[in-house]
Amino acid sequence: MKKIYLSSPHMSGLEMAYINEAFETNWIAPLGENVNKFEEEVCQYININSAAALSSGTAAIHLALKALGVGNGDIVFVQSLTFSATCNPIIYCNATPVFLDSDYQTWNISHKVLELAYEKYPNPKALIIVNLYGNPADYDEIKRIAKKHNTPIIEDAAESLGSSYKGIKCGSFGDISILSFNGNKIITTSGGGMMLSNNKAYIEKAKFWSTQAREKERHYEHKELGYNYRLSNICAGIGRGQLKVLDLRVQQKTFINNYYKTKLKDIEEISFMPVTEGAISNNWLTCILIDKKSNIKPLDILLALETENIESRPIWKPMSLQPYYKDRDYITVDNIAENIFKRGLCLSSDTKMTEQDMDRVISIIRKCFKA
Ligand SMILES: Cc1ncc(COP(=O)(O)O)c(C=O)c1O
């Protein structure tokens, strides 16, 4: 039985030309033409001033926090419903995460919860917002509240390259924004990430820290702690070839999303992840929610699909429920993220799927609900 993946790397065929060029010029180094061009091309796509290509999205969040001066004991507000890489760098900085619940309209930080968080912690050093599964946060409200309290925003756009909110591309909503090019993302460099900002000073600082914080001296001089976080010239070459098909991948992901919606619309117990008002999602992963009263649980579907060699995945387990973070504060009104986690499932959203492949997924889901 042919395996159907959740979201696997999908090459354009244009990547090798950039990689060959790097080989021919012997730029098998962490820096080079591909890195510079990849940064420029992503900036152009998103419409932002400057970017630093890094080894991962996690490294980008770490350096974003450092650039905003987050350090020992600082409070950082962060979305609870996300992958752990969104908040682990807060711990790298010895700062204190405060987890914020989501709302049902966006699955991202609820502005009601954000207002509540400020009542308890009036001076957070930063706020990390996620565009979950590609769906943009409600930026008008979130930015208005953060601005009122003078809190800089880090936009975790790891999953949302190609999405937009009110005509503006994701990756440009934060004082600093970050992307991931991990293998499962809408475009990949096999592993990689990027930090983006209209404030060039943040990006210059990230480039400095990510290349071991080496001062401009002939000898190796270090006044600050450095990291080896730069993206390699080879990986950046993959990224350049991938960027050429980003819009096509968004179209394909959107086709998949619409296909599931159409073919499953008569099953009343299933609803789909919403799209934020005024936003366009890249539909990185198509996610469903199962009605509270249904006898079918997400795990039943996941296991039925797994038996047929089809990948699906539980919704991110909220950080407020993670054993590692169990003693951290969590601001909520009615535990929406936990509810989404219990009732939700990410369906195979691989752009290499054919309609027959999607029909296989759909017929297994339909069988679960018939039974
Ligand atoms: C929401 C989110 N934030 C951060 C990351 C971290 O990115 P990376 O795997 O490139 O470190 C990921 C994905 O892996 C992610 O999904």
Give the single-character DSSP code of 316: P
Q: Tell me how far apart the alpha carbons of residues 365 and 14 are, in angstroms, rounded to a whole number.
A: 36
Are the C-beta atoms of residues 347 and 364 closer than 8 Å to each other? no
* Residue 348 token pair: 């195979």
Give the chain's end-to-end CA distance (angstroms, integer).
23
Read off the pTM: 0.98
Interval between CA 258 and ligand 1 midpoint (Å): 25
DSSP 243-263: HTTHHHHHHHHHHHHHHHHHH
pLDDT of residue 317: 98
List pLDDT tens digits, range 270-329: 999 999 999 999 999 999 999 999 999 999 999 999 999 999 999 999 999 999 999 999
Pocket residues: Cβ below 6 A from ligand 1: 56-58, 82-83, 85-86, 130, 156, 158-159, 180, 182, 193
- Class level of CATH domain 247-370: alpha beta
List pLDDT tens digits, range 199-210: 999 999 999 999
- Below-50 pLDDT ranges, the chain: none
Residue for token pair 């004082």: 175
pLDDT of residue 31: 83
Taking the domains of the chain in order of start, what are their residue ranges?
15-243, 247-370
Q: Tell me how far apart the alpha carbons of residues 36 and 214 are, in angstroms, rounded to a whole number.
A: 19
Chain mean position to CA 266: 31
Dihedral of the alpha carbons of 318, 323, 326, 327, in degrees to the nearest 10: -150
Interval between CA 193 and ligand 1 midpoint (Å): 8
Are the C-beta atoms of residues 239 and 43 closer than 8 Å to each other? no
Task: Report the CATH fold assignment for 15-243.
Answer: Aspartate Aminotransferase; domain 2 (3.40.640)
pLDDT of residue 27: 85
Are the C-beta atoms of residues 74 and 226 closer than 8 Å to each other? no
Interval between CA 49 and ligand 1 midpoint (Å): 22
Please identify, by atom number, the ligand 1 atom nearest to the C-alpha of residue 58. Answer: 11
Equal fold, 15-243 vs 247-370: no
Please identify, by atom number, the ligand 1 atom nearest to the C-alpha of residue 59. Answer: 11
pLDDT of residue 154: 98
